[in-house]
Amino acid sequence: MASTNVAEIIARKRDGGALGPAEIAAFVRGASDGSWADFQLTAMLMAIYLRGLDAAETRELTLAMMRSGVVLDLGAIPGRKVDKHSTGGVGDKISLHLAPMVAACGVVVPMISGRGLGHTGGTLDKLESIPGFNVALPLDRFRAQLAGIGFGMIGQTDDLAPADRRLYALRDVSATVASVPLICASILSKKLAEGIDALVLDVKFGEGAFMPDLARARDLAQLMVSVGNESGVATRALLTRMDEPIGRAVGNALELAESIDCLQGRGPADTMELTYALGAQMLVLAGRCATEAAAREELRRGVQSGAAWRKFLELVRAQGGAEGTVLHPEKLLQAPGQELIKSTKAGFVTAVHSRRIAAVAHALGAGRTRAGEAINPAVGISHLVKVGERVEAGGVLCRVHAATSAEAAAASQQLDTAFELGSQRTTPALLVAEMIA
């Protein structure tokens, strides 16, 4: 029988039992109305971390967390609403250009994103490198913008899945983040609250991902796909490699500039490969295209015709960003300390270690150590070589952008071990490893 006693509910999971809907509802209510103390919530999180949740419990937890706040109703806006979510990587700027590319094909994209987490960057921080860009639109303005220009890009508001905010903060300080059912419930509760019809997940594995191991990333993808579909949102996941950084730039304004290149048809090959793979799934799930091939073609046409770029300019104007800076992104890239990192020998690039690159970008001021800390949008690393490319002795491996020349010099020392060169050309593996539908 379901218990209403907090300690008994925790004990049931501690001992490996399954929680019923009423017990899960009590836990989530306890997180959102304050009736469970932090130590009780944390004990439960650790019990879940150690004992796991089955698929039915995970679905129940996800839906209870979603219902802890506002669930957007976008029914008055015609067409299927589709979003994409990445589990986080290094140089992952895909959302910035993917959302306008998909919106330019006539699909509504209500994108609610996050800030940098750990070694990974966040879409909101990258957007905020555009002076004036407002990621904190109230939900009624967001809804009006979706009806007007077909897409919007904002951050999580206080009233969206508030139980996740408290639980996430506790997980962060209690070694309970890396739990497949907790990650699933955390991500999906926020995404399902957006009022979307379909969702494409980019679940990353490899050195620069939260989940280095393919098997665990696959478990997470399968769970999120089944919970999403059972909750009435058509959900697919791509399992994608996150070893070398995505593209050639890491850092907020540097990544924005690279996304602008993507929208103008000059994006790096790996970045565009991933963009088309994710975007094609979005268009198919939206019912806009019958096949992946047709969807890729439509996305490509949107870039070539300039429609995707014009959509992005509409977004910048609608959310108060300074249009002049996206027309001339070089204005955002004026970090005073710049240094080229050169190779001491010739060879083929066999590895670019994304964790090391991320750590250096973070130390330069591109990421936060504590929540709420200011970041420097102009710093980071650009012109990164890619695996498989040939470099001559004295050739450029990357460019450091720092607040001072002393910081640029320190960063260049730390980048020593980020690149590996060999005598044989290695062909980089395709970024998309599997699709889970």
Residues noted as catalytic? 85, 164, 171, 186, 190
Closest to ligand URA by CB, 185 or 384? 185
- The residue among 177 and 322 lying less far from ligand URA, judged by its C-beta, is 177
- Which residues make beta-bridge pairs with 151? 109
CB of 187 to ligand URA, least distance (A): 5
Minimum distance from residue 189 beta carbon to ligand URA (Å): 9
Which residues have a Cβ under 8 Å from the Cβ of 281 and sit 6 or more positions away?
Answer: 200, 236, 238, 292, 295, 435
Residue 189 or 319 with smaller CB distance to ligand URA: 189
- Taking the complex as a whole, the smallest distance from the CB of residue 201 to ligand URA amounts, in Å, to 11
Burial 355-371, CB ≥16 within 10 A → b, else e: bbbbbbbbbbbbbbeee
Q: How far is the CB of 24 from ligand URA (least distance, A)?
A: 17
Question: Which of 77/177 has CB closer to ligand URA?
Answer: 177
Nearer to ligand URA, 83 or 339 (CB): 83
Q: Is the dihedral of CA 42, 45, 51, 57 positive or negative?
A: positive
Residue 187 vs 352, nearer CB to ligand URA: 187
Residue 109 contacts residue 151 (beta carbons within 8 Å): yes
Taking the complex as a whole, the smallest distance from the CB of residue 108 to ligand URA amounts, in Å, to 22
Report how far residue 23's alpha carbon sits from residue 12's, in angstroms, rounded to the nearest whole number: 10
> What is the rounded distance in angstroms from the CA atom of residue 143 to the CA atom of residue 70?
13
Please identify the residue of the shown chain whose CB is closest to the bound ligand URA: 186
Compare residues 49 and 312 and give the one whose CB is closer to ligand URA: 49
Residues that bind ligand URA (CB under 6 A): 168, 177, 182-183, 186-187
CB 421 within 8 A of CB 391: yes
- For the bound state, the minimum distance from the C-beta of residue 117 to ligand URA, rounded and expressed in Å, comes to 6
Question: To the nearest whole angstrom, how small is the minimum distance from the Cβ of residue 223 to ligand URA?
Answer: 12
Q: In the numeric block, which tokens belong to residue 418?
A: 């980020």
